[in-house]
């Protein structure tokens, strides 16, 4: 276990200390050190977007707390849900008087805790709506797409809902575009190596020296195909073949693409992968409006990558193009 850490049990709290020390103008803790909000929270008159989940996925979740993105986050242990109480604390600190959107990935631990937080918030007369991200096509069949787990497509949801909230739209509008972004997003990933949760000290799963797993979840949940490691081009083809017919993305559609690295895979490889994805999208008659390549949702030091596509219309393009700024993601 080659990690730059101290006590594995203190990993998350020390990471948070480091983040707050590095970005004091942009982020602050609340009474609960695991509940972090924008430094200027609460922004009065603005719908507050709250998110959260387990640690180990930076920039997900905390990294998307910022202007044009989310307002607050509750931070769990590595790959584990934060508590309802922490989410409530983040909610109280971020609520700007006009309601909250809980926007996060579809994991039952998070759902149960955030639903409890929402019920507690309701007792304080705070209106909370929830939108779950469920973009991973590998995790459930098409007709059950809302049962799928949330992966890198979270980024699109934050970007879209965050831009809408920043424009001072009301909660219903923010919910509407968040749902729209989620419904129009499809993702799938491939893993080449597992990662090690510091407190556990053992790999999350095992994979042969020349194997890869297509459809792997961001905590190492099993995927749809395990086989020999293939070329970047072949991986790109597999990912596109799974994603494109699923929505479906159709000839003439405009899309935003995201090639995401899981942690250990170099940016160079992500671009080699995107090269083939781009060729395929063009061949399929899809217009690529914008492309993001980098680490947007990781699994510690897992090697691998994922592809996400968002089908956009004029409204989504406007929201995707809006500026955003957090210590982890800046767009002008």
Partner 1 sequence: MKDSLTQGDVLAAIAHIARSLMASAETLRELDAAIGDGDLGITMTVGFQAVLDELPSLEGQDMANILMKSGMAFNRKAASTFGALFATMMMRAARAVRGVQAIDLPTLAAMAQAAVDGVRERGKADVGDKTMLDALVPAALELAKAAGEEVSLAEGVRRAVAAAEEGMRATIPMKSRVGRASWFAERTQGVQDPGATAIYLMLKALYEYISA
Ligand X SMILES: Nc1ncnc2c1ncn2[C@@H]1O[C@H](COP(=O)(O)OP(=O)(O)O)[C@@H](O)[C@H]1O
Beta-carbon contacts of residue 120 (< 8 Å; ≥ 6 apart)? 84, 85, 88
Q: Which of residues 107 and 296 has its CB atom nearest to partner 1 in the complex?
A: 107
10 binds partner 1 (CB under 8 A): no
Q: Which of residues 81 and 187 has its CB atom nearest to ligand X in the complex?
A: 81
Near partner 1 by CB under 8 A, which window of 56-64, 96-104, 105-113, 286-294? 105-113
109 binds ligand X (CB under 6 A): yes
Which residue from 71, 166, 213, 221 is in contact with partner 1, where contact means CB under 8 A?
Answer: 221
Which residue from 115, 230, 237, 284 is in contact with partner 1, where contact means CB under 8 A?
Answer: 115
108 binds ligand X (CB under 6 A): yes
Q: Which of residues 110 and 213 has its CB atom nearest to ligand X in the complex?
A: 110
Site for partner 1 in 128-157 (CB under 8 A): 139-140, 147-149
57 is known as an active-site residue = yes
330 binds partner 1 (CB under 8 A): no
Q: Which chain residues interact with partner 1 by CB under 8 A?
A: 76, 79-86, 107-109, 112-113, 115-116, 139-140, 147-149, 199-200, 204, 217, 219-222
Q: Which chain residues interact with ligand X by CB under 6 A?
A: 108-109
């Amino acid at each position: 276990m080659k990690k730059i850490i101290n006590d594995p049990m203190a990993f998350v709290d020390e990471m948070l200390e480091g983040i707050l020390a590095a970005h004091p103008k942009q982020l602050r803790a609340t009474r609960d050190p695991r509940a972090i909000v924008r430094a200027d929270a609460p922004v009065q008159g603005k719908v507050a977007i709250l998110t959260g989940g387990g640690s180990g996925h930076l920039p997900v979740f905390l990294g998307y707390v910022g202007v044009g993105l989310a307002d607050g986050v509750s931070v769990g242990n590595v790959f584990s849900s934060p508590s309802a109480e922490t989410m409530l604390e983040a909610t109280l600190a971020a609520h700007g008087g006009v309601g909250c959107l809980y926007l996060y990935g579809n994991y039952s631990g998070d759902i149960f805790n955030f639903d409890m937080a929402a019920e507690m918030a309701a007792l304080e007369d705070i209106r909370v709506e929830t939108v779950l991200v469920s973009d991973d096509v590998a995790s459930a069949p098409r007709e059950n797409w809302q049962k799928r787990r949330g992966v890198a497509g979270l980024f699109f949801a934050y970007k879209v809902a965050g831009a809408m909230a920043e424009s001072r739209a009301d909660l219903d509008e923010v919910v509407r575009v968040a749902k729209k972004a989620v419904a129009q997003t499809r993702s799938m990933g491939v893993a080449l190596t597992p990662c090690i949760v510091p407190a556990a000290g053992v790999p999350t799963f095992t994979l042969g020296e020349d194997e890869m797993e297509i459809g792997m979840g961001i905590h190492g949940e099993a995927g749809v195909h395990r086989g020999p490691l293939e070329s970047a081009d072949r991986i790109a083809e597999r990912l596109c073949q799974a994603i494109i017919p699923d929505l479906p993305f159709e000839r003439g559609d405009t899309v935003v693409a995201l090639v995401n690295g899981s942690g250990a895979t170099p940016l160079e490889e992500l671009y080699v992968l995107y090269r083939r994805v781009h060729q395929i999208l063009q061949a399929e008659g899809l217009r690529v409006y914008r492309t993001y390549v980098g680490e947007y949702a990781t699994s510690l030091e897992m090697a691998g990558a994922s592809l996400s596509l968002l089908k956009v219309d004029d409204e989504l393009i406007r929201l995707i193009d809006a500026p955003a700024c957090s210590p982890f993601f800046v767009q002008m």
